[in-house]
A and B are shown apart, each in its own frame.
Chain A
Amino acid sequence: MSKEYELTEQDRMLLEEIEESLADGEGREEGALHGLGVRLASTVPRADDAFRERLASRLVARMQQRTAHEADEEVTGRRGARRWFPLGRLLAQIPSPATGLGWAVTALILCLFFGTVTYAVVPAVSRLFQLEDGLQHVEQADLVQELDLSQTMHGVTVTLERAYADANRIVVDYTVKHPDDQRYEASRLTLTDADGNVFPRTVGWGASGRSDLFGIELPEGEGNYVNSFDAASVKGAPAELDLRLAMELREFVLPTDTPGTSVGSSSAPAEPAEPMVVELEPMPQGDVVGTFAFDFSVPFIPGRVVEVDQTVETAGVAMRLERVVVTPSEARAYLRFDPPTEVETSWTSIVTLRAPDDRKTRGDFYAVADDSPVHVYGFPAPLHERQGEWTLKVTELVGTELVPPYEQVRLAGPWEFRFRVP
């Protein structure tokens, strides 16, 4: 300690007096130094009792809300719900699988809001729906069902514009129109069939206002959103699907600061006791406008299922390509692998697909990590008419440990599969 801060005998006496005055609150001589200490100790601001009780209630409610949410997630996990990793490798880096989808969609939407790439401005709905080759193709092939179903609550109108369904996915396209400057987001978007079966969402994107990334400019107070759901659970080949799309619409609120990394001047250290822990927190939530629900039917296009059932072993990891399902909007590969690790790890991989006469080598657009060792990779491209030898190549496995410090594990391949699509 520097000399500047050394305590004198007088200081020690003063400290004792301060302790005394804080302990008993009794005053001595007015104006003396210790008297000032007493005065300070006796001028403590007191909160309004009503505020104190209101805040106590809020805290307990917040705690219970969080506990209930965690319990709900735990139940979902035990039931083997899938963890979705839209845009595959990008989000595989985020050690928060339980909230991966929410983050993904949010991140994507934010990207769209703040993107800086310049495109020519074209009608919004087409541009958004045509984000990837698969949907572009089905729209051009006139396979998309126009719906135009609207509901209005508190001045906010949601219109389900159109939908598309095949054996790999169901896609819905909706707009949100509102009279004010406030943006809205669907915080709970669920798609169910007539029996109440839930189709998990795989990926979604949207824009509000102007998006340079998509080259669109929507009218003021309007947002357009496209969401894709996994249709693998559809049994057989029904002519059409009877569906219900429900969404809880909320005001969209941007965070005011970054939890865990924000805060204060240089003299104010970060709040968490463990400075190395970076915790991703949910986005703040705005007020709920209401729950919108749409019942509709959409033609169903069956897929071609190619049972491949090939196993390739590389780097000590055996990988099996079980099957490939091809539809007009997408080709989807089902891979089974389970690399041995010491701790629980979420795996994804870098996968490419090459079909005959296709000019592009397709990268996976999204991936699904299941609690089972089956991993699903979607390639949204019009490959359903490509016959001949296809090549699917896994160049690398990327694992994220699900316990702190969330180390990343990388296993180099390749695992290459060649198979014929009739």
Chain B
Amino acid sequence: MDPKQERALLRRARNDPQALRALYDHYFPKVYAYTSYRVGRVQDAEDIVADVFLTAVDKLDMFRWRGEGSFAAWLFRIARNRVSDFYRRGRGSEEGVALEDLPCLASSALLPADAIARKERFAHLRRLIDTLSPRRREVILLRFFGGLRNKEIAALLELDERTVASHLCRGLRDLHRQYVDEEKREVPHEQGV
């Protein structure tokens, strides 16, 4: 979203439903995707996403524009805090989410049409991402699923932009390594069947 447009929407969003809706439409998919990867289950993701946006509406007065990306960073800070709360209260399980509880994927030509297969792909990727260090995992999730730019991630995580880029590259390499290793491990398994 164009920063000028975003700033204008933010000024109006306090009491203009259309402005609020425009911001919501832009950020909802990103917050939802990020949260889904962090918590796994659809129901948990929905609860947290609802809480994030309701909190944002309530606290909009407290938001201070600090240039491009500042709102995204502010909104995702709320989301990260809510996810942290979720795990701190012991409501989250890092593993063992049933397939039917996983979210649907947006679609892609790269993935099979079968919804179950897509969900398996989601679960697989989520497992791999969970093997990364917390910082790299966060950068990968914010970049690929939160749709944040490096500059916005840097503002959110209070890092230098180049450090974010570095985490992104190395996180992706770690992930790739895991991916290749798993494929190698799967070959003898498949042969044995």
Q: Which of B46, B55, B169 has the most CB of A within 10 A?
A: B169
Give how many B residues have a beta carbon under 8 Å from the other chain's beta carbons: 72
A18 and B108 CA atoms in complex are apart in Å by 17
Interface residues on A, range: 35 or more
Give the nearest-CB partner of B124 in chain A: A43
Which of B1-9, B20-28, B93-101, B185-193 lines the interface with chain A?
A: B20-28
Pick out which of these stretches binds chain B: A197-205, A221-229, A271-279. A271-279
**Smallest Cβ distance from B160 to chain A, in angstroms?**
5
B103 A45 Cβ-Cβ under 8 A: yes
B89 shortest CB reach to chain A, Å: 9
| B106 interfacial contact with A, CB 8 Å | yes
Asked if B153 lies at the interface with its beta carbon under 8 angstroms from chain A, I say no
A257 contacts partner chain B, Cβ-Cβ < 8 Å: yes
Partner pick for A1 among B42, B111, B162, B183, CB 8 A cutoff: B162
B134: chain A residues at CB < 8 Å are 267
Report the nearest A residue to B140, measured CB to CB. A40
CA gap between A263 and B14 in the complex, in Å: 24
Q: Which one of A45, A55, A272 contacts B50 once the chains associate, using CB atoms below 8 Å? A: A55
Determine whether the beta carbon of B103 is less than 8 Å from that of A46.
Answer: yes
| A43 vs B62: C-alpha distance when bound (angstroms) | 34
Query: Is the Cβ of A269 less than 8 Å from the Cβ of B158?
Result: yes
Using known A-B contacts A46-B106, A269-B77, determine if residue A66 contacts B58 with beta carbons closer than 8 Å. yes
A265 to B134, CA, bound (A): 12
For the complex formed, measure the closest distance between the CB of A289 and the CB atoms of chain B, giving whole angstroms: 24
The residue in chain B whose Cβ has the minimal distance to the Cβ of A55 is B50
Contact B108 A45 (CB under 8 A): no
Choice from A11, A37, A43 contacting B166 with Cβ under 8 Å? A11
Chain B residues near A357 (CB, 8 Å)? none
In the complex, A272→B59 CA distance in Å? 8
Cβ of A42 within 8 Å of any chain B Cβ, yes or no, is yes
Question: Are B32 and A7 in contact (CB-based, < 8 A)?
Answer: no
Closest chain B residue to A25, Cβ basis? B108
Confirm or deny: B54 has a beta carbon within 8 angstroms of a beta carbon on chain A: yes
A-B contact count (CB 8 A): 182
B17 is contacted by which of A18, A25, A60 (Cβ under 8 Å)?
Answer: A60
**Contact call A45/B81, Cβ cutoff below 8 A:** no
Whole-angstrom distance between the Cβ of B41 and the nearest chain A Cβ: 11
Q: Which one of A31, A41, A267, A273 contacts B144 once the chains associate, using CB atoms below 8 Å? A: A41
- A1–B144 touching, CB < 8 Å: no
Instruction: Tell me the minimal C-beta distance from B174 to chain A in angstroms.
Output: 11
A62 touches B21 (CB 8 A): no
- A-B residue pairs in contact (CB < 8 Å), sample of 27: A7-B162, A7-B165, A7-B166, A14-B172, A18-B168, A37-B172, A40-B140, A41-B144, A42-B109, A43-B125, A44-B144, A45-B36, A46-B32, A48-B42, A48-B104, A55-B49, A55-B53, A56-B24, A58-B50, A58-B54, A59-B24, A63-B17, A264-B85, A268-B77, A268-B84, A273-B62, A273-B74
**Interface of A with B (CB < 8 Å)?**
1, 4-7, 11, 14-15, 18, 22, 25, 27, 31, 33, 36-48, 51-52, 55-56, 58-60, 62-64, 66-67, 257, 259-260, 262-265, 267-269, 271-274, 277, 279, 281
Chain B: residues with CB nearer than 8 A to chain A? Answer: 13-15, 17, 20-21, 24, 28-29, 32-33, 36-37, 42, 45-46, 49-50, 53-55, 57-59, 62-64, 66, 70, 74, 77-78, 80-81, 84-85, 88, 103-111, 118, 121-122, 125, 134, 140, 143-145, 157-158, 160, 162-163, 165-169, 172-173, 175-176, 179-180, 183
